[in-house]
Amino acid sequence: MAVYTRVTMANIAETGLYNYLVESKTPGLKENVKLITLKKGAQLYGTSEPFTDIFEIVSGAVKLGGISVKGKDYIYELVTPGEFFGNLALLSNDTFCEFCKTLTATQFRSYKVDFFKHLMTHDPKVAEWCFAKIVYRWNKTESMLANIRSYEPRERILLLYADLHKKITTAGNREVFLNKLITYNDIADLTATTRQLAADTIK
């Protein structure tokens, strides 16, 4: 006899948001959610786009960043499968200015912002999932800042490189280590050091 398991709040994180929405027969999925696949090094959106959809990574990974006052790119976060990002446009006088580039072949689900906000405010299970993801990203940022204040430059580089020594699956169904996908410049940005020191430290 077949066993039918309904998706619950407890396992949205395991089955994925989209599967939960399908199982819940959420109206508007076809109109408001689409699947996007980009090759390595592609730009999903740039700093000149003040409004974006909300993106959930299905496979692969991306880097988020901006442009300095001197006109140079920098990054401040890596985002991996199961996380979501984009501009929720919740702040008044919104100053969203971010780019997103793929680190490898990456597949996303793109949710229209109004639809995503509706889910957050009308479905407690989705809201709890979203809050958990937001707090997880806050914690990543806080941990990165704490490391910058707590460790010497070379230690910061080695800690980051070790932390990113974890496998992810690309959109081409290939397993790769996350720390092999980033550049020395990326490492320098994430550790407040320099490209040269990153290159000298990681040999």
Q: Which residues contact 36 (CB under 8 A, 6 or more apart)?
A: 44, 55, 107, 108, 109, 110
From the list 45, 140, 154, the residue with the least C-alpha distance to 101 is: 45
The pTM assigned to this predicted structure is 0.88
**pLDDT tens-place string over residues 29-75:** 999 999 999 999 999 999 998 889 999 999 999 999 999 999 999 99
**pLDDT tens-place string over residues 7-31:** 454 578 788 899 999 999 999 999 9
| CATH architecture, domain 9-201 | Sandwich (2.60)
